Amino acid sequence: MGKREPVIATLGSHSALQILKGAKDENFPTLVIAPEDKKDFYKRFRFIDEIISIPNYLDFPKIEKLLFKKNVILIPHGSFVAYLGLEENKKMRIPYFGNREVLDYESDRQKQREWLIKSDINVPLQFRGVADINYPVIVKSYGAAGGKGYFYAKNKRDFQKKIGALKDRNFIIQEYVIGVTLYIHYFYSLLTNKLEILSMDRRYETNVDSLGRIPLTHQEQLNIEPSYVVVGNSPLVLRESLLPEAFAMGERVVEKSKQLIGGKGLYGPFCLETVITPDQKFYVIEISCRIVAGTNLFMDGSPYSSLIYNEPMSTGRRIAREIKLALKENKLEQVLN
Ligand code: ATP
């Protein structure tokens, strides 16, 4: 990376607005790479200095040279792997905020599960086959995004009735945890060696979150199946008595990543997707090792970020703050990959 001031850039989708607004708040030049038909949309925002349009998201790697010339630091988000694929992402050499090696763990459900278990985190039981099912379960096909294609089965018979087309695909059968979903947004700094909780959200999923609006007697007649497609996110604050464990879980996951995953382990933004049961236990259903879309609720900070910062601090801005701090301390190499 040259001596020139770096440009903070990302792909136009997911949490790009938050990332670039945060970068501008920290006085960085900003750049978005977006498909042609989204150019006008991104033009609306004054905090975006430059737009590079590409025919399709998949064309992104083709402009790598240009991005090098512009002294770009790339901030990944949820659309990177979704649009470009895992291998393409790992191949790119543009300075990137985060550890690319974490992607192997994030994208492999089995590896992810081992990491969580080794971090002393509760995870739902997993069943090898239909014969083992002795609880209500949720069945998840591989590569499903946003909860699409998941289904609930109350027992073996129900499972066999519903598995149908999914039979030929890879799927996992997991204990269905009944509780409140809570997604915790963390930021771990390699520079300060501290873990911060910046915000929290819960997802609103249709129709599982709206079934309670129909009385049980009517539900029985309608024969509705719950589905888990995300339509939005809403804020939630956690009982204070549960906060120490929320911090501790994040710290354990970071600590374990240093042994399990190559390089610097997990750093920057990540999210534990939890379900909290009536006995006040967190079950983690997934870890996302990057900024998650639920942080978009908190462009101006959250109750949790205000406990740490006396200014509005989104996850996007926190990323830019880390880069700024690294530049000041001459440690940019340490936070980039
Ligand atoms: P991906 O990130 O791989 O695209 P996803 O984030 O869409 O997957 P999950 O977070 O695994 O999918 O699950 C989607 C939703 O399904 C959750 O928000 C939750 O409502 C429900 N769910 C998932 N696993 C469980 C579980 N074990 N028990 C109860 N509900 C679950």
Give me the residue spans of the domains in the chain: 7-96, 105-122+178-209+231-328, 126-175
Best residue among 106, 122, 138 to mutate for probing ligand 1's pocket (most ligand atoms within 8 Å of CB) is: 138
* Secondary element (H or E) of residue 18: helix 16-25
Confidence of residue 144 (pLDDT cuts 50, 70, 90): low
Rounded average pLDDT over 304-311: 98
**Could you tell me what percent of the chain has a pLDDT over 90?**
74
Q: Which ligand 1 atom is nearest residue 205's CA? A: 20
Cβ contacts of 200 within 8 Å, gap of 6 or more? 182, 183, 184, 185, 235, 236, 237, 238, 294, 302, 304
Confidence of residue 219 (pLDDT cuts 50, 70, 90): confident
Q: Which segments of 185-295 does DSSP mark as H helices, in order?
A: 216-222, 243-260
CATH architecture of 7-96: 3-Layer(aba) Sandwich (3.40)
294 lines ligand 1 (CB under 6 A): no
Q: Are strands 7-11 and 72-74 parallel, antiparallel or unpaired?
A: parallel
Q: Which ligand 1 atom is nearest residue 109's CA? A: 3
pLDDT, greater one: 110 or 147: 110
Q: Domain 105-122+178-209+231-328 belongs to what topology? A: D-amino Acid Aminotransferase; Chain A, domain 1 (3.30.470)
Q: Whose CA is nearest to atom 21 of ligand 1?
A: 228
* Secondary element (H or E) of residue 41: helix 39-43
Q: What are phi and psi of 48, to 5 degrees?
A: -100, 115
Residues linked to residue 200 through DSSP beta bridges, in sequence order: 184
- pTM higher than the cut 0.85: yes
| pLDDT greater than 60 at residue 2 | no
| pLDDT greater than 60 at residue 242 | yes
Confidence of residue 146 (pLDDT cuts 50, 70, 90): low
Best residue among 127, 228, 236 to mutate for probing ligand 1's pocket (most ligand atoms within 8 Å of CB) is: 228
Return the closest-CA partner of residue 92 out of 76, 106, 77, 78: 76
Cβ contacts of 51 within 8 Å, gap of 6 or more? 12, 31, 32, 33, 34, 39, 42, 43
Cβ contacts of 148 within 8 Å, gap of 6 or more? 228, 229
Cα–Cα dist 183/200, whole Å: 6
Q: 201 C-alpha to center of ligand 1: Å?
A: 14
Q: Residue 147: how many CA atoms within 13 Å on its side-chain side? A: 18
Q: What are phi and psi of 10, to 5 degrees?
A: -155, 175
pLDDT of residue 329: 96
Q: Which ligand 1 atom is nearest residue 176's CA? A: 28
Question: Is domain 126-175 in CATH 3.30.1490.20, yes or no?
Answer: yes
176 lines ligand 1 (CB under 6 A): yes
pLDDT of residue 82: 83
60 lines ligand 1 (CB under 6 A): no
Cβ contacts of 243 within 8 Å, gap of 6 or more? 197
Q: Whose CA is nearest to atom 12 of ligand 1?
A: 147
Q: Which residue has the tokens 């911060």?
A: 196
SS3 of residue 183 by DSSP: strand
Task: Categorise residue 126: left if φ over 0, alpha if ψ from -120 to 50, beta otherwise.
Answer: beta
